[in-house]
C-alpha cells in the first residue's frame, strides 16, 4: 500500500477542486434530517485533522499510542460549520491535511512500524483494533486516511476511491 502521506496528498489534490464546485447553498444543506451537510462533514474532517495532528506527533515521542476521544457531534454543532464560508472551509481542510501529510511523510520509519502494546484504538480509530492487539502508528495514519476518504465519498459519491485496504 502507498504511504499514507503520499496518498493523502493525492486525495487532497483530487477532492479540493471537486469540493469547490459545490455551491455554498448545497454545502449547507443536509441530505436528509439528522445527517450532516457537506459543510459539517468537512468541518468534522477539520476537527479530526486537529485531533490526529497531536496524536501522530505525541506517538513519535511515546512507546504507546493513545489519544483523547472527543464528542464529534458536539464539536460540529458548537462550531456551526453549516453557516461557515464554504470556500474558506474547504481551503482550511485542504491546508490542514497537507500539513498532516507532510508530517506523515517525515515520520521516521522506526516510529511508523514500532509495535505499540499500549493504545486506545479500540476507542478512537475509524476501524477499531482490540486493546489487547498491538498496533503501529502506520496503521493509525492509514486509518485516518480511510476515515477521511469515507467522509469524502459521502459528499462526492463519484470520487474515485484511492485507498483500497490497510
Q: Which residue has the cell 498496533?
A: 135
Domain at 12, CATH number: 1.20.120.450
pTM for this prediction? 0.94
Structural domain boundaries, residue 22: 4-155
**Is the separation of the CB atoms in 96 and 50 below 8 Å?**
yes
Buried b (16+ CB within 10 A) or exposed e, 77-100: eeeebbebebeebbebbbebbbeb
Determine, yes or no, domain membership for 17: yes
| Sign of CA pseudo-dihedral 21, 24, 25, 26 | positive
Determine, yes or no, domain membership for 51: yes
Determine, yes or no, domain membership for 111: yes
Cα–Cα distance, 141 to 41 (Å, whole number): 19
Determine, yes or no, domain membership for 146: yes
Q: How many domains does the chain have?
A: 1
Determine, yes or no, domain membership for 124: yes
Q: Output Rg (C-alpha) for the chain, integer angstroms.
A: 16
Query: Would you write out the chain's pLDDT as a tens digit for each of its 166 residues?
Result: 679 999 999 999 999 999 999 999 999 999 999 999 999 999 999 999 999 999 999 999 999 999 999 999 999 999 999 999 999 999 999 999 999 999 999 999 999 999 999 999 999 999 999 999 999 999 999 999 999 999 999 999 876 666 555 5
Determine, yes or no, domain membership for 161: no
Determine, yes or no, domain membership for 55: yes
Cα–Cα distance, 77 to 19 (Å, whole number): 21
Determine, yes or no, domain membership for 165: no
Amino acid at each position: 500500500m502507498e504511504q499514507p502521506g503520499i496518498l493523502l496528498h493525492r486525495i487532497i489534490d483530487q477532492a479540493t477542486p471537486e469540493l469547490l464546485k459545490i455551491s455554498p447553498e448545497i454545502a449547507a444543506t443536509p441530505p436528509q434530517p439528522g445527517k450532516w451537510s457537506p459543510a459539517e462533514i468537512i468541518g468534522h474532517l477539520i476537527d479530526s485533522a486537529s485531533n490526529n495532528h497531536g496524536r501522530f506527533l505525541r506517538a513519535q515521542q511515546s512507546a504507546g499510542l493513545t489519544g483523547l476521544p472527543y464528542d464529534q457531534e458536539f464539536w460540529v454543532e458548537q462550531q456551526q460549520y453549516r453557516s461557515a464560508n464554504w470556500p474558506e472551509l474547504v481551503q482550511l481542510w485542504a491546508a490542514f491535511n497537507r500539513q498532516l501529510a507532510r508530517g506523515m511523510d517525515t515520520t521516521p520509519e522506526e516510529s511508523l512500524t514500532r509495535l505499540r502494546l499500549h493504545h486506545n484504538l479500540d476507542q478512537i480509530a475509524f476501524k477499531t483494533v482490540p486493546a489487547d492487539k498491538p498496533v503501529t502508528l502506520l496503521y493509525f495514519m492509514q486509518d485516518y486516511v480511510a476515515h477521511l476518504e469515507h467522509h469524502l465519498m459521502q459528499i462526492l459519491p463519484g470520487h474515485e476511491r484511492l485507498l483500497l485496504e490497510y
